[in-house]
Amino acid sequence: MLQLIDIECGYDSFKLKIERLNQSSPLLFMIGPNGTGKTTLMKTLVGVLPTKGGRVNTKPCAYLPAQHTIQPGVTGQDIFELYDGNKSKWHSDDVLHVLGTKKLMNRRIENLSSGELQRVLLTSVLSNPASLVLLDEPLTYLDWNYSLRVADLIQNQIQKGRHFVISNHNLSWCLRFKTSQTWVLYQNGVVLDGSTETILKHPKLMEIFKVKTEITDNPIDQTKILAISKYET
């Protein structure tokens, strides 16, 4: 699992410092207000951005960027094959079926809607053979139904021994998973680290996000949801 020691990364205008952090649960969420370095940390873990000193142990990994720069003319099948989806150890047929992407694979990316492309990308990333998966805001563009399906797929793959690092803003979605760990990024570092439920009850959380939060029961199924409201000082 992920282990970060003495990381210093980022750009000239934005630096991120991490002394020592361990992933203790196979499912790790990174949350934080906009511009606190979630994507920067992801890119550093993947190896797209360099670190000044320190160590990260993430190779090889399957990575879904927050924003894609795929060139026009590329098809879904191209993406799937280049992510080595054919060599998957994680039942790529199931993934294709659950995300409904079989029919989309022959289309060029410019002929797909944003949500369809996101599903094609998720299919490819989840089919990559690496046992560590990094997803940067995987729910972007997805409708409600597919958001829940992605959660099921991830839960399944965790049971088969896969590890996930996911940055996300929808905390109710995060609470659908039985156990998970959460890092809160704020002010150039990770300020909170713990199980997701305890983090979401932490008094500092409201200060960081400037919203009121409360965990309640989901009246439809047995999960929890995070209710939020405007923060009055």
Partner 1 sequence: MKTLWLALSIVLLLSVISLAVGSSAVGFEDLLAYFSNQNLDPSVKYIISDLRLPRTMALITIGMSLGLSGVLLQTVLDNPLAEPYTLGISGGAALGAVIAIFFGLGAIGVPVGALVGCFAVTIVILNFSGSKMLMKSRSLILAGIMVSLFCGAVVTLLVSLLDPTKIQTAVYWMMGQVGTTRDVGWPALFLIFLCVYLYFSFQEKNMDRLLLGDDIAASLGTNLNLIKRTVIVSVCVLTSGSVAIAGLIGFVGLVSPHLSYLILGTRRHSLTLTLSSLIGACLFLVSDILARILSHETELPSGSIMALIGAPILVMLMVRRTRYATAD
Residues interacting with partner 1, by CB under 8 A?
43, 46-48, 59-63, 65, 68-75, 78-79, 82-84, 108, 110, 134
**Is-contact 16 37, C-beta < 8 A?**
yes
Nearest approach in angstroms of CB 83 to partner 1 is 7
Quote the DSSP letter at residue 163: E
β-strand partners of 51: 9
Nearer to partner 1, 75 or 172 (CB): 75
Our CB check for partner 1 shows the closer of 33 and 129 to be: 129
- Given a contact cutoff of 8 angstroms between Cβ atoms, the answer to whether 142 and 115 are in contact is yes
**Shortest distance (Å) from residue 228 CB to partner 1:** 31
Rounded Cα distance, 225 and 219, in Å: 9
Sequence-ordered alpha helix ranges (H) in 105-214: 114-127, 144-159, 171-174, 196-201, 203-209
User: Could you give the CA distance from residue 44 to residue 182 in angstroms, rounded to a whole number?
Assistant: 18
- State in angstroms the smallest separation of the CB of 122 from partner 1: 13
Cβ of residue 80: shortest distance to partner 1, in angstroms?
Answer: 11
Distance in Å, CB of 199 to partner 1, minimum = 27
Q: Which is nearer to partner 1, 81 or 193 (CB)?
A: 81
Chain centroid to CA 133: 8
Residue from 150, 127, 151 nearest 62 by CA: 127
CB nearer to partner 1: pick between 61 and 112: 61
Q: How far is residue 40's CA from residue 141's CA, in Å, rounded to a whole number? A: 21
Pick between residue 43 and residue 162 the one whose CB is nearest to partner 1: 43
